[in-house]
Chains A and B, each alone.
Chain A
């Protein structure tokens, strides 16, 4: 079993829909990251969080440390949100220093 899992693997939404991507992890961590990767592009960090909730524009990330679960929400989705969203964790005992363990990613396609 992977240490970081995401669901769904692929997601297609109509423009304007509310989108949720889920992440669960099995290791102890000090931080969880949500990253965005456009096709052929590099990775952009969206959020780093260790508790609670963060909001940036139309994006909201939440984490439940007890349940080892995080969600990324996109409100009023837009075609430019189409990308791969990657959940990653860092800082746990099974990782060295702040080595990041990445999830497999969720490929999001938002249709106009």
Chain B
């Protein structure tokens, strides 16, 4: 257990539905990252927060995706009007303190039917 938690661990939804995932980073970490991993591929960067500010978004993050970190603690990633191509593992990582290692959460596996 890295100290980073994600909820839910698995989500099955029908195409067109909205889904929201949550990430709880290590409490003193000010940096939070979202990544996406499709089957057989390595994870790809989606977006990055420093405290509550979203400082970078990948072009992979279409306008159907939105991420928030309202109080600089937990973060949510919402996908609207899901498509089958959204099926993937969504990973969250947190970073902070004097040791800059990123600690990964267990991921949320999304299946869009």
Contacts and interface: CB of A to CB of B under 8 A. Distances in A.
Interface of A: 4, 31, 33, 35, 40-45, 48, 86, 88, 90-91, 96-105
A44 B91 CA distance: 11
Contact of A105 (B6, B42, B44, B109): B42
B5 to A, nearest CB: 10
B50 A100 contact: no
A40 B31 CA distance: 26
B100 A31 contact: yes
A33 B102 contact: yes
B65 interface: no
Interface residues of chain B: helix, strand, loop or mixed (majority): strand
Interface of B: 2, 6, 31, 33, 35, 41-45, 48, 50, 55-56, 89, 91, 93, 95, 100-107, 109
A99 B56 contact: yes
Nearest to A91: B100
25 contacts: A33-B101, A33-B102, A40-B109, A41-B106, A42-B89, A42-B104, A42-B106, A44-B2, A45-B101, A45-B102, A45-B104, A88-B42, A88-B43, A97-B48, A98-B31, A99-B45, A99-B56, A100-B33, A100-B35, A100-B43, A100-B45, A100-B102, A104-B41, A104-B42, A105-B41
Contacts of A42: 6, 89, 91, 104-107
A35 B100 CA distance: 15
A86 B101 contact: no
Contacts of B35: 100, 102
In this complex, which of B103, B104, B106, B107 has the most chain A Cβ atoms within 10 angstroms of its Cβ?
B104
Contact of B102 (A86, A90, A101, A103): A90
Contacts of A86: 42-43
A91 B31 CA distance: 14
